[in-house]
Structure 1
């Protein structure tokens, strides 16, 4: 057990500042206040943005090896503080300990990848003699940092989803201001503490817990050149509408589907789907929500899935045997509980789970649920998955696409022709073959289409969003 502090600061222009202790953060399992952090006022946010503007030129002028050294330092310190980071996730996010340790590992991976990519900002030489008028002309282009960035990160992966903004920004040379989720600010604050140990230019970073009402400058301030938001679709699209001229990257919600074909390895599919649907209490935008199973194996696989789901241990996330911890709040658990009851009332069959105690909601499986219910159409963001059956591959793909979301999808099949057809037809940002939609490696391009967002994360791809192409035209005389 790691002892957390009673209070934590915010980070303003690289420095720890404790103007107040106004943000109370609860232990999501007990509901008790675990610690308090400083809460940024609009004046503090304004100072941070001004600092980022001042830092833009010195950040852009840092050599690649200097940015790499900062990121390497973070990797070293996160490894040294591994247990503290994992414990903070257990407390502030209610994340089961095994999942929390997995997220710290991914945090380290993300910064390690960024350290490598910081020296790979390549450009291109392009001949322009495509016609007689351009004979003797050449073009060279490179990527330059876009400038001060604004980051807003969510509660469900408070370490790694913040890292997917912070690490690429440092790698490409962009100063930033970050608003971590008020429910789970500690991971980002610890990252700020580690960054403060480095030689980044003053103003290169600010970590600012803030209320939603007080954080409008993160979106509207014209001094910021990019807004990167991860969170709910309703909030994300509203922010885009108010962001003005700045570039906007959105990583939003989903109700991801997996398809299990009749030739699939059912034991493998079972293990991965149980994980994908219920790890960290289903609070993942790419968590498995819809399970579409071939009719020939449907009954057998349904029974396997129900039996396995019933074995999942729920309880205190600090217990290493716990698989299902609390949802982020009792309000969210009550919301999903209401959706489950409405799905059953509409004709759905409850296969297992469905009981709630405060913020704890059992791992729940439903079948025969009408497609117009919230449980199918909206993002559950909790421990709920819904089964349906198919007979034709095209119909299965159509059912995956029957969604306003499009983040990732999973396929379990041995038929390469079906895989390639799915890759062509599925309206998603990524197709995972013989794995679930919720699998992600932190260097791959990640993001969605439709209501699931704009742009791609994954360190290299985020660096592209945080930079602009600057062209050099050369005419060779003579």
Structure 2
């Protein structure tokens, strides 16, 4: 299969291509047209030229485009799931879940398009403001640049595209090189649903080269990026007056306190799901678990048992939960980090070995906080479990991280849970849930090296608009 760029409402194929391989089977999926810097400039020009048309769409028209796109994706949901499973090596059940979430994200975007309201201001609250009424409105920014990751190639792209369309902005997508097909499918569906031609483009290719064009072009008014902290910082440093939203890394932590003795099996099941969903290649993946010393041994055993039940295999198989990582380089890095931790005293409770192009689900105990596998983002199927004396020690260790995205607390002590929630240095705290939990309409973003700005449909839309105030002097 030969797949082109999506530009000006149609596919554009050139002789400049790169091969796309299935990460698990290593079979060739397609030849992908390699976008050039000139292609990116053309996409930005087309988007900029379509801005007036996008801005003129009523909120009802924008909502209906998004609702129709959701319906069209629903009709093609199995096709979309197969694309995700093949290009991202995502287990097919997880891929279907991503498609369902994408449909929901499109619908949330359509709903929020109709709720993009301002507010009334009483200008007579100020001396001299008598006889004036004022109100605010939200206006679209202009061209939105979306730089998207491989791990949720359809839904995380939609978290940028859906709000952009809802606000009346055209959007140019630079997808991860490994997962362009999902973004192209989304662009095709939105165009078929009535989005003006040229208002959405997908330019696969070399990230640094294409991203540089996007960052330098003043017609791009905002960049929404999901990826590594290092690249995020580089984008922000060069963005100038552009707005940026950066969704970066994490090593999400959770705590199980002494009040949860009767819930250990249930919590262990949730923790295993949170740690190993999509091979641990999730920004919110449960990576660090701290357990009160009175429950440490039984919880450690329960988690090891639940982990051993997880099936590693071909992502096309219905029973598969964990499969190959996105590439062999990632596999080797994860295995190296496990080996380092083990050499420095960590206990491997289960897993710790490579299989196919992936890593078997791995639980490590008693890991020093300075180990790479503790203080960096693993982005693989590995979770560590450490003993703490009390909530204060748990809080200190959970906050001892360069990251701050999500955190989870399991506790039946409301006062303790709320005190920890207020002190945790993260963007979202989940009480009696694993930190891997995310619903698509909730605010989402991190502090420290985990990011800048917020996603979640309503909140992303607000960051893709300008607030304008209009005042009427009705007394002359």
Q: TM-score, normalised by structure 1?
A: 0.97
Residue matched to 1:77: 72
1:223 equivalent to 2:214? Answer no
Q: Is the 8 A contact 2:405 2:447 kept in 1?
A: yes
Residue by residue over 1:137-159, the C-alpha shift from the partner in whole angstroms, topping out at 9 and shown as x without a partner, is: 33211111011110000000001
Residue by residue over 1:217-258, the C-alpha shift from the partner in whole angstroms, topping out at 9 and shown as x without a partner, is: 122211100000001111111111112210010000000001
Secondary structure of the residue that 2:467 maps to in structure 1? Answer: strand
Q: Is the 8 A contact 1:23 1:39 kept in 2?
A: yes
Residue matched to 1:297: 295
Q: Paired residue for 2:285, among 260, 284, 287? A: 287
Residue by residue over 1:269-315, the C-alpha shift from the partner in whole angstroms, topping out at 9 and shown as x without a partner, is: 11110000011110001100000011111100000111111121111
Question: Unaligned regions of 5+ residues in structure 2, if any?
Answer: none
Residue matched to 1:42: 37
Give matches, 1:187-336, under 5 Å. Answer: 187-215=182-210, 216-264=212-260, 265-336=263-334
Secondary structure of the residue that 1:225 maps to in structure 2? Answer: strand
1:156 equivalent to 2:165? Answer no
Residue matched to 1:421: 419
- CA distance in 1 between partners of 2:3 and 2:318 (Å): 27
Residue matched to 1:444: 442
- CA distance in 2 between partners of 1:220 and 1:437 (Å): 36
- CA distance in 2 between partners of 1:143 and 1:300 (Å): 54
Count of residue correspondences: 473
- CA distance in 2 between partners of 1:437 and 1:470 (Å): 37
1:379 equivalent to 2:377? Answer yes
- How far residue 446 of structure 1 moved from its aligned partner, in angstroms, is 0.5
Residue by residue over 1:345-404, the C-alpha shift from the partner in whole angstroms, topping out at 9 and shown as x without a partner, is: 122111111111352201111111111111111000001111111122122111111101
- CA distance in 1 between partners of 2:34 and 2:72 (Å): 25
Secondary structure of the residue that 1:381 maps to in structure 2? Answer: coil
- How far residue 458 of structure 1 moved from its aligned partner, in angstroms, is 0.7
Q: Paired residue for 1:370, among 368, 371, 374? A: 368
Secondary structure of the residue that 2:352 maps to in structure 1? Answer: coil
- CA distance in 1 between partners of 2:433 and 2:33 (Å): 41
- CA distance in 2 between partners of 1:104 and 1:130 (Å): 49
Q: Is the 8 A contact 2:366 2:387 kept in 1?
A: no
- CA distance in 1 between partners of 2:177 and 2:214 (Å): 14
Residue matched to 1:3: none
Q: Is the 8 A contact 2:174 2:207 kept in 1?
A: no
- CA distance in 1 between partners of 2:447 and 2:18 (Å): 35
Question: Unaligned regions of 5+ residues in structure 1, if any?
Answer: 1-5
Secondary structure of the residue that 1:192 maps to in structure 2? Answer: helix
Q: Is the 8 A contact 1:286 1:407 kept in 2?
A: yes
Q: Is the 8 A contact 2:252 2:285 kept in 1?
A: yes
Q: Paired residue for 2:179, among 184, 206, 209? A: 184
Q: Paired residue for 1:404, among 399, 402, 405? A: 402
Residue matched to 1:108: 103
Q: Is the 8 A contact 2:132 2:471 kept in 1?
A: yes
Residue by residue over 1:161-183, the C-alpha shift from the partner in whole angstroms, topping out at 9 and shown as x without a partner, is: 00100111111100010011101
- How far residue 340 of structure 1 moved from its aligned partner, in angstroms, is 0.7
Q: Is the 8 A contact 2:328 2:357 kept in 1?
A: yes
- How far residue 21 of structure 1 moved from its aligned partner, in angstroms, is 5.7
Q: Is the 8 A contact 2:81 2:96 kept in 1?
A: yes
- How far residue 130 of structure 1 moved from its aligned partner, in angstroms, is 2.7
Q: 1:21 to 1:78 in 2, by over 3 A?
A: farther
- Cα RMSD after superposing both structures: 1.2
